[in-house]
Amino acid sequence: MESLRVSGVTVSFGGNRALDSVAMTAEPGRITGLIGPNGAGKSTLFDVASGLRRPSSGRVFLDGRDITRLRPSERARRGLARTFQRLELFGRLSVRDNLRVAAELGPERRRADRAVTEILARLGLTDIADTAPDALPTGVGRLVEVGRALAIRPQVLLLDEPAAGQDGEETERFAALLRSLTADGTAVVLVEHDMSLVMGVCDEVYVLDLGKVIAVGPPEVIRADETVLAAYLGDA
Ligand SMILES: Nc1ncnc2c1ncn2[C@@H]1O[C@H](COP(=O)(O)OP(=O)(O)OP(=O)(O)O)[C@@H](O)[C@H]1O
């Protein structure tokens, strides 16, 4: 059964249809890629899924329950976590405290300290646990955001360009981390411009263009899809 499902989601900004009747499903233990040229609607779809934007029509389901009317914090409590393209960390709290704030919202609040220590180690952030994110390079800040999302023990994790600003070696480590998350049964949705990362880790890829899903399939099918190639060339 799917962990996250959106159906018929439409969002308009004035006359501009940012999303037009979009449907997407993310399953437990799988990485679902969401790609598309700039302005395709990827972040807007994350905003709808996480509750930051109310769609003019359409529904969002988490584990089969309709959560369309729930606030973002209620969705987080039910296991839906996300990261942001522009970092949304507490810039002056330590990395550890940024994670602790989230862990205290999640199901393991009684053992929040231990959970945070484990996540810091898993992400390779232990050495900078006492540093404030404002003092870190953006690529590392993105990892802290991932850590904060993990701290609520999500069943669905929405990642908005988590590898931007990472070098090749960091991206490889990140790919391994994503795979380890799915081994835990988490449903991951990945918005990412780094195509080799997307094609290397995703089980299924959705392609958005001008607010519409123009293709869905495994990476090898998407890579060869003429409509997808045309959408990207049009963007160049
Ligand atoms: N708050 C807003 N007000 C008006 N228009 C918006 C707003 N947010 C997004 N849009 C428009 O909606 C469309 C989709 O934008 P969105 O940011 O979701 O795309 P994206 O696929 O995430 O792009 P990128 O890869 O550049 O981050 C674009 O045309 C954008 O200009």
The ipTM estimated for the assembled molecules is 0.95
CA 159 / ligand 1 centre spacing (Å): 16
pTM above 0.90, yes or no: yes
pLDDT of residue 209: 95
Minimal-distance CA residue to ligand 1 atom 28: 39
Q: Where are the beta strands (DSSP E) in 83-203?
A: 156-160, 187-191
Tokens (6 digits) for 70? 């729930």
pLDDT on residue 235: 52
CA-CA distance, 158 to 62, in Å (whole number)? 13
> Of 6, 9, 12, 13, which is best to mutate to test ligand 1, by the most ligand atoms within 8 angstroms of its C-beta?
13
Alpha helices in 33-167 (DSSP H): 42-50, 72-77, 95-103, 112-122, 138-150
CA 215 to chain centre: 19
What's the gap in Å between 3 CA and the centre of ligand 1? 25
The pLDDT of residue 197:
94
Cα 22 to averaged position of ligand 1 atoms, centre (Å) = 15
Mean pLDDT of 76-97: 90
Residue with the nearest Cα to atom 6 of ligand 1? Answer: 13
What's the confidence (pLDDT) of residue 185?
Answer: 92
Torsion region of 210: left, alpha or beta (phi above 0 gives left; psi -120 to 50 gives alpha) = left
**pLDDT > 70: what percent of the chain?**
98
- The domains located in the chain, with CATH, are 4-235 (3.40.50.300)
- Whether 85 has a pLDDT exceeding 50, the answer reads yes
**Least confident span in 24-38, 96-110, 111-125, 126-140:** 96-110
Identify the pLDDT of residue 236: 47
User: ∠ at Cα 158 (12, 22), nearest 5°?
Assistant: 35
154-211 residue pLDDT tens: 999 999 999 988 888 889 999 999 999 999 899 999 999 999 999 999 999 999 999 9
pLDDT value of position 106: 72
Question: How far does the centroid of ligand 1 lie from the alpha carbon of residue 18, in Å?
Answer: 7
What distance in Å separates the CA atoms of residue 36 and residue 39, rounded to the nearest whole number?
8
CA gap 11, 31 in Å, rounded: 25
pLDDT, tens digit, for every residue of 26-63? 999 999 999 999 999 999 999 999 999 999 999 999 99
Name every residue whose Cβ is closer than 8 Å to that of residue 114 and which is 6 or more positions away in sequence: none
Residues with CB under 6 A from ligand 1: 13, 16, 18, 36, 38-44, 85
